[in-house]
C-alpha cells in the first residue's frame, strides 16, 4: 500500500471527472476548425447534450463530481455551467482558450488563468479552487501561478498513484498546492476521439474496451492503494452507448465498500489534512540550454 489513509478506512479513492472542452479544444488545436460547422458541432455536443445526460447519471448514482471547463467554452454555454453548479458538482479551471501552458510566456499563462477564473466566477459566483492544464501539459511555472492565486490543487501530473503536497518553488515557506495525479490510461480521449484533420487517433474503440482498461487500473488501486481519477469528455463519453457503459461502471464502483468516491476538491482537502512534507519542483528545462 502507498500509505495514504482514506476516509472510512477505504483502500483507495476514486473520482469521476469531466473535461468540458467544447469548441475550445478544437480551436486551440487548429484555429482553421472555426470554418467547419461539422467540427464545431462535434465539440458542442458535449456542453449541449453530453453534460445533461451525464448529470442525470451522476444524480441517479448520488455522487459528486468535478467538471473542468475552459473559460471560452463557459462563455459560449453559460446555461450548461450553471446547471452543473446547480446540481452540486465542483466547477474547476481548464484554461481560457484550452491552449497548453507550455506554449505560452509567463505573462500569457497568467492571463489565461485570470481570464478563465473571471469567466467561471461570473457564472457561478465562486472562484474555482482546482486547475487542470489543457492536454494535461502543465508548465514548470504554473504551480507558482496557481499558489499565488489561492488555488488549492492541480490535477495534471503523472508521478504518483496518490495525491501529495507540491511546493511551487525552492523556498520552504512557499504555500504548497495539492497535486492529484492522473494518467493517460484513465482518459476517454485515446479510446473514443476521432476528428479528421484534428486528432486522428482511431480506430474508435468500443465502450467495453475502455471500461475494461479503466477497471483494470481500479483493481490495481484497490490492491496497492492510491487515487483512481477517471477523465471523461462529455463530447465523447456523453454519447448514448458510452454513457450507458459509464453508468454501469459508476454503479459497480459505488457498490464497492473499500472505495471512497469524491470530487477532487474533497480529495484535495483530505490530502491537506494529512500534512505530509511538500515535494519541490526541480526544473529540468535548464538542460536544454
Interacting residues toward Zn ion by CB under 5 A: 19, 21
**How far separated are the first and last CA of the chain, in Å rounded?**
40
Q: Which is nearer to Zn ion, 226 or 234 (CB)?
A: 234
Do residues 73 and 49 make contact, with C-beta atoms less than 8 angstroms apart? no
CB of 108 to Zn ion, least distance (A): 18
Sign of CA dihedral 216, 217, 218, 220: positive
Q: Which is nearer to Zn ion, 19 or 179 (CB)?
A: 19
> Three cell numbers at 147?
499558489
CB of 68 to Zn ion, least distance (A): 7
CB of 231 to Zn ion, least distance (A): 9
Q: Which is nearer to Zn ion, 4 or 117 (CB)?
A: 117
Distance of CA 31 to the CA centre of its chain: 23
Host H or E run for residue 182: none
CB of 189 to Zn ion, least distance (A): 8
Q: Which is nearer to Zn ion, 90 or 225 (CB)?
A: 90
- Cβ neighbors of 108 (< 8 A, separation 6 or more) are none
Q: Which is nearer to Zn ion, 54 or 165 (CB)?
A: 54
Q: Are strands 12-19 and 66-69 parallel, antiparallel or unpaired?
A: parallel
CB of 191 to Zn ion, least distance (A): 15
Hey, is 204 helix, strand or coil?
coil
Amino acid at each position: 500500500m502507498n500509505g495514504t489513509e482514506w476516509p472510512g478506512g477505504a483502500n483507495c479513492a476514486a473520482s469521476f471527472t469531466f473535461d468540458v472542452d467544447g469548441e475550445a479544444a478544437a480551436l486551440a488545436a487548429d484555429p482553421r476548425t472555426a470554418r467547419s460547422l461539422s467540427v464545431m458541432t462535434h465539440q458542442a455536443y458535449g456542453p449541449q447534450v453530453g453534460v445533461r445526460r451525464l448529470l442525470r447519471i451522476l444524480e441517479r448514482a448520488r455522487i459528486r463530481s468535478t467538471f473542468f471547463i475552459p473559460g471560452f467554452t463557459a462563455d459560449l454555454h453559460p446555461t450548461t455551467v450553471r446547471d452543473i453548479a446547480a446540481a452540486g458538482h465542483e466547477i474547476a479551471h481548464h484554461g481560457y482558450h484550452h491552449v497548453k501552458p507550455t506554449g505560452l510566456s509567463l505573462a500569457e499563462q497568467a492571463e489565461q488563468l485570470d481570464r478563465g477564473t473571471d469567466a467561471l466566477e461570473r457564472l457561478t459566483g465562486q472562484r474555482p479552487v482546482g486547475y487542470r492544464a489543457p492536454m494535461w501539459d502543465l508548465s514548470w511555472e504554473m504551480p507558482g501561478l496557481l499558489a499565488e492565486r489561492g488555488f488549492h490543487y492541480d490535477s495534471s501530473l503523472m508521478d504518483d498513484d496518490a495525491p501529495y503536497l507540491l511546493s511551487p518553488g525552492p523556498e520552504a515557506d512557499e504555500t504548497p498546492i495539492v497535486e492529484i495525479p492522473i494518467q493517460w490510461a484513465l482518459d476517454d480521449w485515446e479510446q473514443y476521439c476521432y476528428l479528421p484533420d484534428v486528432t486522428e487517433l482511431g480506430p474508435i474503440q468500443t465502450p467495453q474496451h475502455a471500461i475494461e482498461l479503466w477497471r483494470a487500473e481500479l483493481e490495481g488501486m484497490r490492491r496497492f492503494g492510491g487515487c483512481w481519477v477517471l477523465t471523461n469528455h462529455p463530447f465523447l463519453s456523453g454519447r448514448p452507448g458510452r454513457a450507458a457503459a459509464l453508468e454501469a461502471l459508476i454503479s459497480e464502483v459505488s457498490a464497492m465498500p473499500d472505495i471512497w468516491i469524491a470530487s477532487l476538491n474533497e480529495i484535495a482537502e483530505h490530502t491537506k489534512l494529512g500534512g505530509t512534507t511538500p515535494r519541490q519542483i526541480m526544473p529540468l528545462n535548464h538542460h536544454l540550454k
